[in-house]
């Protein structure tokens, strides 16, 4: 007699939370705090792209250009949404892609809000963020103005980060998620 074959029960995999927001909002930092608290893995699409390409985002912008980076980003976000079940932080511009916007509708997306002054303080003057080169304050303002409506549209809710520590931001997210 042959034993019946039983398949393991596997449900669809989905991140517990997806963090979006501008550069300096704290997506990477707050993502790490939440993942540590919940005992889950954290994933960051900028880091995934850098690992695959074998170089920093800033070098991809210089060598291949922003349009190529956005293609890599779109694929990295789709892969992470489909396969990661911990905390997921997206690059600041990932929400610009219309297909990504559609995918995000099925996820617990949280917008980390940051104002101009705190964003500028946090990103500093380093060269790791290629879109800010030249005029950090002016570029941050432009990106905040252009993208805030998109972050608001894709997110289930927003949390304020100005003047608050990453731990306080994480507290707010837990409260809003009921965790
Ligand atoms: N709530 C906060 N208060 C003060 N500093 C913060 C806060 N959140 C993050 N930071 C600091 O700001 C800097 C940027 O944070 P982080 O890299 O997490 O931002 P990000 O949203 O992931 O940016 P990017 O889109 O460029 O990846 C880091 O030095 C971090 O330590
Ligand atoms: O806001 C953006 O467009 C970016 C944010 C970073 O996370 C990186 O993905 C890259 O520097 C571009
Ligand atoms: Mg980040």
Q: Quick one: pLDDT at residue 179?
A: 84
Predicted-complex ipTM score: 0.96
Distance (Å) from CA 4 to ligand 3 centroid: 48
Place 1 in a pLDDT band, splitting at 50, 70 and 90: very low
pLDDT of 17-69, one tens digit each? 999 999 999 999 999 999 999 999 999 999 999 999 999 999 999 999 999 99
Top-confidence residue, 95 or 126: 95
Domains of the chain, CATH where assigned? 17-173 (3.40.50.300)
Distance (Å) from CA 114 to ligand 3 centroid: 14
Contacts of 42 (CB under 8 A, 6+ apart): 31, 32, 34, 35, 86, 87, 88, 89
Question: In angstroms, rounded to a whole number, what is the distance separating the alpha carbons of residues 163 and 179?
Answer: 23
Q: Quick one: pLDDT at residue 5?
A: 54
- pLDDT over 90 percentage in the chain: 79
- pLDDT over 70 percentage in the chain: 92
pLDDT of 60-95, one tens digit each? 999 999 999 999 999 999 999 999 999 999 999 999
- Which of 21, 28, 51, 57 should be mutated for ligand 2, with most atoms under 8 A from CB? 57
Neighbours of 47 (CB within 10 A): 15
Q: Which phi and psi (to 5°) does residue 158 adopt?
A: -115, 150
Contacts of 66 (CB under 8 A, 6+ apart): 130, 131
Q: Strand 87-89 relative to strand 109-113: parallel, antiparallel, unpaired?
A: unpaired
The first and second tokens of residue 127, run together, are: 């060269």
Q: Quick one: pLDDT at residue 13?
A: 75
The residue whose C-alpha atom lies closest to atom 12 belonging to ligand 1 is 122
Q: What's the average model confidence in pLDDT over 98-108? A: 97
- Which of 46, 64, 71, 141 should be mutated for ligand 2, with most atoms under 8 A from CB? 46
SS3 30: helix
Q: Quick one: pLDDT at residue 6?
A: 53
Question: In angstroms, rounded to a whole number, what is the distance separating the alpha carbons of residues 126 and 82?
Answer: 33
């Amino acid at each position: 007699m042959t034993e019946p074959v039983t398949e393991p029960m596997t449900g669809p995999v989905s991140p517990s939370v997806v963090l979006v927001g501008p550069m300096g909002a704290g997506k990477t930092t707050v993502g790490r705090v939440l993942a540590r608290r919940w005992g889950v893995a954290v994933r960051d699409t900028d880091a995934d792209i850098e690992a695959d390409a074998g170089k920093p985002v800033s070098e991809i912008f210089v060598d291949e250009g922003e349009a190529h980076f956005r293609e890599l980003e779109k694929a990295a976000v789709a892969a992470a949404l489909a396969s990661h079940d911990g905390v997921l932080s997206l690059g600041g511009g990932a929400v610009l892609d219309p297909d990504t916007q559609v995918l995000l509708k099925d996820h617990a997306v949280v917008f980390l809000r940051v104002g101009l002054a705190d964003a500028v303080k946090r990103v500093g003057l380093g060269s790791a963020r290629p879109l800010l080169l030249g005029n950090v304050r002016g570029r941050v303002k432009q990106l905040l103005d252009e993208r805030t409506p998109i972050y608001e549209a894709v997110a289930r809710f927003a949390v304020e980060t100005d003047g608050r520590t990453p731990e306080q931001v994480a507290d707010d997210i837990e409260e809003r998620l009921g965790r």
